[in-house]
Amino acid sequence: MGGIALMLGYLCTQWLAATRRYAFESKRSRLELETLGKRLEILNAKVQAAPEVAWNSFRKFTVARKVEECADTYSFYLKPHNGRPLPAFKPGQYLTFEVQPPGLPKAQIRCYSLSDGALTDEHYRVTIKRYIRDDGKPGVVSTYFCDDVKEGDILNVKAPSGKFYLDVEVERPVVLISGGIGITPMLAMARVLTHLNDPREIYFFFGCRSGVDHMFREEVIELQKNNPNMRLHICYSRPSETDVKGEHYNHHSRVTIDLMKEVLPSSNYEYYLCGPGPFMDSLVAGLYEWGVPKKDVKFEAFGPATVKAGPKDGAAAPADGAVSAIEVEFSRSGKKVPWDPECANLHAFAEKNGIPIDYSCGAGSCGSCLVAIKKGNVNYDMEPGTEVDEGSCLTCICRPAGNIVIDA
């Protein structure tokens, strides 16, 4: 049985155990137990239907529903166009889309996290916020989704992927921390734990400016009602006059490390973070300073990664002084240049030298910047979110480990 089926099998066992716990501990009504039993049956059916691999390349999905969550933020409920069953995903993973907004010369690739985590769902859901660039212009693809994509449209979607996910088998209490649209993977995690009736403690911190951009408010409150182990901490940095403390939000502040220290009984949790660059930089650094081991701090960047995790375990970092002696050869362009240690990654170095390599997420997730390595090796700054073929590298998150020849 494949990995997905194995995971679903495990979830089934958990669900069954949860159902029994319900029976003995909560003395639930017969009707409720029957409903739970039905859900287990559906889950079992999914185990049987789970394919070995989700699917390769792009698959067609129909936009079944489009829902406005808050200002400039929409959820898209996606159903497979061929009507066949949907493979399960791990809470925290994302989908990769290929879209062609009008007026652009070529198709664009972007990743969007799955924001739903209901195991029996017949759809996938992503939630997209209109991105505003540093120059004040709206982002191309997020704007296309917000303004143009409508119910009934068909989209090209790659299978769920990504290494940033909650491992349901590790039974440690979790702290889910998000800012703005970074809530999407956290919502999927909280939903899966709740639907599994998982007994672990969940601290859910969410930060936004005010009630205007407080997305999923009702959904998260509903989750909390169904999960006595979930503790909500909503932070508004600039509440409006109509926002009521204690009703709409809990803290008039940003999500900070001091708040964590105040609220959490200890630092001994597994932490999952997703949000804007400065938010992640300060919180990740704060958690490390607080003594939380690096292995317990997991984070995802939605844009070019600012938080560096250091070279992947086992990756040989070049010795000091050896870095500037490294030579990078771009075989297709016939260019050989000494590596510039100031460059954040191989993609930035190629760009600096006028070598075009496709690029999209800047976070090792979408696979756009993949190039073949003809000779040599690379070190990654962070774990790639997508599978990297043997003999290739994701140039947006790696640096050469020594002399290297790449097909660009």
Ligand X SMILES: Cc1cc2nc3c(=O)[nH]c(=O)nc-3n(C[C@H](O)[C@H](O)[C@H](O)COP(=O)(O)OP(=O)(O)OC[C@H]3O[C@@H](n4cnc5c(N)ncnc54)[C@H](O)[C@@H]3O)c2cc1C
Give residues in contact with ligand X (CB under 6 A).
Answer: 94, 110-113, 126-129, 131, 133, 139-143, 162, 181, 184, 276, 300, 302-304, 361-363, 365, 385
3-state secondary structure 61-72: EEEEEEEEEECC
Give the pairing type, strands 370-375 and 392-394.
antiparallel
Cβ nearer to ligand X, comparing 37 with 303: 303
We find the least distance from the C-beta atom of residue 81 to ligand X, in angstroms, to be 22
Phi, psi of 145 (to 5 degrees): -65, -45
Helix axes 3-21, 30-49, angle to 10 degrees: 170
Cβ nearer to ligand X, comparing 126 with 230: 126
Neighbours of 55 (CB within 10 A): 14
We find the least distance from the C-beta atom of residue 267 to ligand X, in angstroms, to be 27
**Residue pair 145/139 in contact by the 8 Å Cβ criterion:** no
Q: What six digits make up the tokens of 310?
A: 């250091």
We find the least distance from the C-beta atom of residue 180 to ligand X, in angstroms, to be 9
Give the pairing type, strands 58-70 and 73-80.
antiparallel
Cβ nearer to ligand X, comparing 124 with 302: 302
Cβ nearer to ligand X, comparing 15 with 94: 94
We find the least distance from the C-beta atom of residue 98 to ligand X, in angstroms, to be 12
Give the strands of the sheet with 297-300, arranged side by side: 230-236, 202-208, 174-179, 270-274, 297-300
Residues 352 and 359: their CA atoms lie apart, in Å, by: 14
We find the least distance from the C-beta atom of residue 69 to ligand X, in angstroms, to be 11
Cβ nearer to ligand X, comparing 125 with 233: 125
We find the least distance from the C-beta atom of residue 249 to ligand X, in angstroms, to be 22
Cβ neighbors of 32 (< 8 A, separation 6 or more) are 22
Cβ nearer to ligand X, comparing 131 with 272: 131
